């Protein structure tokens, strides 16, 4: 019962190879997945931060040409136009005294506390907040701050989409590898199954039929050749044993066993010929009576 249980637990080459491929890819694919997605994330996020910094720098340069006391209306217009003309979601200027200059009323701008981001999607609010210094003409060395928030939903959405695409590609790659391994092992299995069947026939006593198996796989061909040599050795051994059983060891003359065997074979053949002759003559007699 134990041997039967162990035999039933044996697995095929296909199972072992597929299991090995799956285990290897389970170890490698997470690393590959994170490498690809993190590489894309870092590159796209760096480009986005660089773009935001560039936009904020241009606005700061424009504002630095204004006077905080005399050009307040122009400053408000610059802030309002930046909201209307790009993906800026939040913008304001805070002077050295803490006074906040906001866009015109009616121009959409996010409200709430300003939280500067150190990374993209740092606060999960789909807006990247940045603060840079502004030096107005009449600031006399004082530093004001330009606070700006730019929509980051597009770059975050692209990153999430890339993650899904990479996951689909890696999954398709794994399925393709499993199909390829299965196909290859089936090609290997076919001659192995033929070898198994012929081995069972030889073990059952059918040693006269040549093996007749060819394969492009050298290992299987070597195994087939060795099995055929074993079959020929069994044939030769059987012939020698038959000869020894029917001949005297000293004189090599046919012994009584061979005489009896030959006599019985000829007697049976004669009986068969007599039976055939009797049947033939009986059929002629019956036909002539009709």
The answer to whether residue 42 sits within a structural domain is yes
**Cβ neighbours for 83, distance < 8 A, ≥ 6 positions apart:** 89, 91, 103, 107, 108, 109
Mark which of 116, 149, 169 sits at the end of a domain.
Answer: 169
Q: Indicate whether 6 and 143 sit together in one domain.
A: yes
Instruction: Give the domain-ending residue among 146, 169, 192.
Output: 169
Q: With respect to residue 30, please indicate whether it lies within any of the assigned structural domains.
A: yes
Supply the mean pLDDT for the chain: 79
By residue range, what is the domain housing residue 60?
2-169
Let me know if residue 78 belongs to a domain.
Answer: yes
Quote the tokens at residue 217: 């796989």
Which phi and psi angles does 116 have, rounded to 5°? Answer: -65, 135
For residues 10 and 99, which has the higher predicted lDDT (pLDDT)?
Answer: 99
Q: Is residue 156 domain-shared with residue 256, that is, in the same domain?
A: no
Percent of the chain with pLDDT over 70: 78
| 202 found inside a domain | no
Residue 9, pLDDT > 80, answer: no
Tens-place pLDDT, residues 106-144: 555 566 667 888 888 888 888 889 999 988 887 676 788
Q: Sign of the CA dihedral 198, 203, 206, 208?
A: positive
Q: Is residue 70 part of a domain?
A: yes
Q: Which of 169, 189, 211 is the last residue of a domain?
A: 169
**Burial call 175-191: b when 16+ CB within 10 Å, e when fewer:** eeebeebeeebeebeeb
Q: What is the pLDDT of residue 2?
A: 42
CA 98 to CA 10: how far, in whole Å? 78
Arithmetic mean of pLDDT, 191-199: 81
State whether 144 and 272 are in the same domain. no
Catalogue the long-range contacts made by 168-174 (C-beta closer than 8 Å, 24 or more residues apart). Answer: 170/29, 170/32, 170/33, 174/22, 174/25, 174/29
What Rg value do the Cα atoms of the chain yield, rounded?
Answer: 47
Q: Which residue has the higher pLDDT, 3 or 225?
A: 225
Helix (H) or strand (E) segment spanning residue 253: none
Give the pLDDT score at 228: 82
Q: Helix (H, G, I), strand (E, B), or coil: what is residue 171?
A: helix
Cα gap 108→91, rounded to integer Å: 10
Query: Taking residues 14-30, what's their average pLDDT?
Result: 85
Within a domain: 58: yes
pLDDT in tens, 57-77: 988 898 888 888 888 888 888
Structural domains of the chain, count: 2
Tell me, yes or no, whether 73 lies in a domain.
Answer: yes
pLDDT category, 248, cuts 50, 70, 90?
low
Please check whether residues 139 and 24 belong to one and the same domain.
yes
For residue 94, pLDDT over 70 is answered with yes
* CATH, residue 135: 3.30.450
Query: Does residue 225 lie within any of the structural domains?
Result: no
Structure-token pair, residue 119: 């990374």
């Amino acid at each position: 019962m134990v041997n039967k249980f162990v035999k039933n637990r044996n697995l095929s080459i296909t199972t072992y190879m597929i299991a090995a491929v799956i285990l290897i890819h389970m170890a490698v694919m997470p690393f590959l997945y994170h490498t690809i997605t993190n590489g894309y994330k870092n590159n796209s996020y760096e480009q986005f931060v660089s773009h935001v910094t560039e936009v904020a720098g241009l606005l700061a340069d424009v504002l630095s040409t204004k006077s905080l006391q005399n050009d307040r209306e122009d400053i408000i217009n610059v802030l309002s136009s930046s909201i209307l003309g790009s993906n800026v979601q939040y913008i304001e200027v805070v002077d050295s005294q803490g006074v906040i200059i906001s866009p015109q009323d009616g121009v959409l701008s996010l409200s709430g506390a300003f939280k500067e981001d150190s990374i993209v999607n740092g606060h999960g609010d789909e807006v990247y907040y940045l603060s840079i210094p502004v030096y107005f003409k009449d600031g006399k060395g004082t530093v004001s701050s330009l606070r700006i928030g730019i929509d980051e939903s597009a770059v975050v959405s692209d990153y999430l989409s890339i993650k899904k695409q990479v996951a689909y590609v890696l999954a398709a790659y794994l399925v393709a590898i499993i199909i390829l391994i299965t196909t290859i092992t089936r090609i290997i299995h076919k001659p192995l199954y033929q070898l198994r069947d012929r081995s069972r026939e030889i073990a059952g006593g059918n040693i006269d039929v040549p093996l007749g198996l060819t394969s492009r796989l050298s290992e299987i061909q070597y195994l087939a050749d060795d099995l055929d040599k074993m079959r020929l050795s069994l044939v030769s051994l059987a012939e020698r044993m038959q000869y020894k059983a029917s001949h005297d060891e000293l004189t090599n003359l046919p012994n009584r066993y061979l005489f009896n065997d030959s006599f019985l074979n000829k007697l049976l053949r004669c009986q068969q010929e007599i039976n055939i002759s009797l049947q033939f003559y009986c059929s002629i007699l019956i036909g002539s009576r009709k």
